[in-house]
């Protein structure tokens, strides 16, 4: 008999949920984790820490966004980022306790050390004291996560040249920062530091940012970022980075232009943590940036080995990683519970303002051959939106003109990542304009934006009919 039924290498969201899912149904499970605390990037370096900084930045700018006569507030830039993020540590510790308690209740053994695959059903663990043990198992789940990509020509050994994992350990809030990379992470940090009063330049090698977002809502976000003073430079790359004698960072672009800043944040991509986990011992070949190829059940080319989370690439979200881990565990042991990932996935971008979407964008719906009608609701016309100081936010719904069903929603504004879940259920249950208009919403509330977006779409339908009649 094997030592275990399942060994998860990594205790991030995918590893934790796979382990507890299998253990719940009576299987013997162990987790191998190299870090001292569980949770992976979700808890320790990425999701929770960065979102905590965002909440702190919004708190610091609250009086500017919602001015009160005689009250002013300014961020002391001599404060360390760590001091600004006291909330981060409280939430992290609570998440560590939650995960560890869940694993204890489920009878899951946690083994500290570096886990490596020794074969299709064997895992070796190198402990912190240098000793190694070998464990046998029926199944292996690779859930080792990802790390920021670090090009060789960027001097990360300098204390003010950082990646997305190091940015939160800065000794003080910079007066100026250059963010290289206009993806999700780069845009989020650009917004956070601009909100804290830093001068921010965002550099991106392509001709547009965030091209997966509805174009109209993306333009809404980019205007808001520009209004906050973020300078966006597209079609630009950084060829050289030099630390100057005065401690500032000098960068040289591909066009020869020189830019200086207090801190350079390199946020251009991530790589799967698969370099040293023994894939070759199982005849698994990783692809570009270390990605592992899997099927719909997260099974690799080796039947006993599965992979989930960041190591398999897009969408690389904490929410989807959790579901992938559960699905993998269910497939391993023929558990009739979770069989596939939901076809409808919400996406959240924690910029300032936040952006969230679900379903089809207007462009995608038209491309799919749907006859669409769009309804929009502006935060500035909503009482709750005005109370929150959000004058730029917008909720955009895409409906099928004939059936009136909701096809997709994109929101840019306060609480977008919370509001999007209402659209998730409207789409799931094939409801639309009539159900939204017939519902009674709290007043004042941002949720009421859905009703006015539905009314806006209804007016557009009526206007089209009048045009045809004329």
253: which strand partners?
238
| Residue 102 burial (10 A CB sphere; 0-12, 13-18, 19+) | middle
| CATH code assigned to 4-147+271-332 | 3.50.50.60
**Which pLDDT value is given to residue 56?**
83
Q: Pick the range with the lowest mean pLDDT from 4-18, 59-73, 108-122, 156-170.
A: 59-73
pLDDT of 393 > 80? The answer is yes
| CATH code assigned to 161-268 | 3.50.50.60
pLDDT of 173 > 90? The answer is no
Q: In what order do the strands lie in the sheet with 394-400?
A: 347-349, 355-359, 406-412, 394-400, 372-378
> What's the pLDDT tens digit per position in 395-437?
999 999 999 999 999 999 999 999 999 999 999 999 999 999 9
Mean pLDDT for the stretch of residues 334-353: 93
**Which pLDDT value is given to residue 79?**
66
| CB-CB contact of 42 with 320 (8 Å) | no
Query: How many alpha carbons lie under 13 Å from residue 102 in its C-beta half-sphere?
Result: 21
Q: Pick the range with the lowest mean pLDDT from 48-57, 108-117, 184-193.
A: 48-57
> What's the pLDDT tens digit per position in 263-285?
999 999 899 999 999 999 999 99
Domain coordinates of the chain in residue numbers? 4-147+271-332, 161-268, 353-469
Instruction: Report the mean per-residue pLDDT for the chain.
Output: 93
DSSP state string for 150-191? --TTS-TTSTTEEETTTGGG-SS--SEEEEE--SHHHHHHHH
Asked if 4-147+271-332 and 353-469 have one fold, the answer is: no
Pick the CATH number of 353-469 from 1.50.10.10, 1.10.150.120, 3.40.50.970, 3.30.390.30: 3.30.390.30
What percentage of the chain reaches a pLDDT higher than 70?
97
**Which pLDDT value is given to residue 3?**
95
Measure CA 162 to chain center. Answer: 19
**Which pLDDT value is given to residue 304?**
97
| CB-CB contact of 67 with 76 (8 Å) | no
- What would you report as the CA-atom Rg of the chain, rounded to the nearest whole angstrom? 24
d(CA 376, CA 378): 7
> What's the pLDDT tens digit per position in 40-70?
999 998 888 889 889 888 887 777 777 667 7
pLDDT of 75 > 70? The answer is no
Residues 6+ apart with CB under 8 A from 233: 201, 202, 203, 204, 253
Global pTM reads 0.92
pLDDT of 71 > 90? The answer is no
Q: Pick the range with the lowest mean pLDDT from 20-34, 82-96, 248-262.
A: 82-96
Q: Which letter, b or e, does each residue of 347-360 get, where b requires 16 or more Cβ atoms within 10 Å of its Cβ?
A: bbbbbbbbbbbbbb
């Amino acid at each position: 008999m094997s030592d275990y039924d399942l060994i998860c290498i990594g205790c991030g969201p995918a590893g934790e949920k796979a382990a507890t899912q299998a253990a719940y149904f009576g299987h013997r499970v162990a987790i191998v984790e190299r870090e001292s605390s569980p949770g992976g990037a979700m808890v320790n370096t990425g999701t929770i820490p960065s979102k905590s900084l965002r909440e702190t930045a919004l708190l610091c700018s609250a009086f500017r966004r919602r001015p009160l006569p005689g009250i002013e507030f300014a961020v002391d830039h001599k404060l360390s980022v760590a001091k600004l993020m006291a909330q981060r540590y409280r939430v992290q510790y609570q998440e560590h306790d939650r995960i560890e308690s869940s694993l204890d209740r489920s009878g899951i053994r946690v083994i500290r050390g570096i886990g490596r695959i020794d074969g299709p059903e064997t895992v070796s663990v190198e402990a912190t004291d240098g000793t190694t043990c070998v464990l046998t198992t029926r199944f292996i789940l690779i859930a080792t996560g990802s790390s920021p990509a670090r090009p060789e020509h960027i001097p990360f050994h300098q204390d003010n040249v950082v990646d997305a994992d190091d940015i939160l350990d800065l000794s003080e809030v910079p007066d100026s920062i250059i963010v290289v990379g206009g993806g999700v992470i780069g845009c989020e940090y650009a917004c956070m530091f601009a909100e804290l009063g830093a001068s921010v330049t965002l550099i991106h090698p392509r001709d547009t940012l965030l091209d997966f977002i509805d174009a109209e809502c993306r333009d809404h976000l980019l205007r808001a970022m520009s209004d906050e003073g973020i300078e966006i430079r597209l079609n630009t790359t950084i060829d050289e980075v030099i630390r100057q004698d005065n401690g500032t960072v000098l960068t040289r672009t591909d066009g020869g232009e020189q830019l200086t800043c207090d801190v350079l944040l390199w946020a251009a991509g991530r790589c799967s943590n698969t370099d040293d986990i023994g894939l070759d011992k199982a005849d698994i070949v990783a692809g570009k940036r270390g990605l592992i190829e899997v099927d719909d059940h997260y099974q690799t080319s080796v039947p006993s080995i599965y992979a989930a989370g960041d190591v398999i690439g897009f969408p690389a979200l904490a929410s989807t990683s959790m579901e992938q881990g559960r699905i993998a565990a269910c497939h391993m042991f023929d558990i009739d519970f979770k069989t596939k990932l939901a076809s409808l996935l919400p996406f959240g971008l924690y910029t300032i303002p936040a952006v969230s979407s679900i379903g089809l964008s207007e462009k995608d719906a038209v491309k799919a051959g749907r006859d669409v009608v769009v309804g929009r609701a502006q935060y500035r016309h909503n009482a709750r939106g005005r109370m929150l100081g959000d004058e730029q936010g917008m909720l955009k719904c895409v409906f099928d003109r004939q059936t009136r069903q909701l096809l997709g929603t994109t929101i840019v504004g306060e609480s977008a990542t919370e509001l999007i879940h209402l659209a998730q259920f409207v789409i799931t249950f094939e409801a639309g304009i009539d159900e939204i208009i017939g519902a009674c919403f709290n007043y004042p509330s941002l949720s009421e934006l859905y009703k006015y977006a539905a009314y806006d779409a209804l007016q557009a339908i009526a206007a089209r009919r009048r045009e045809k009649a004329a």
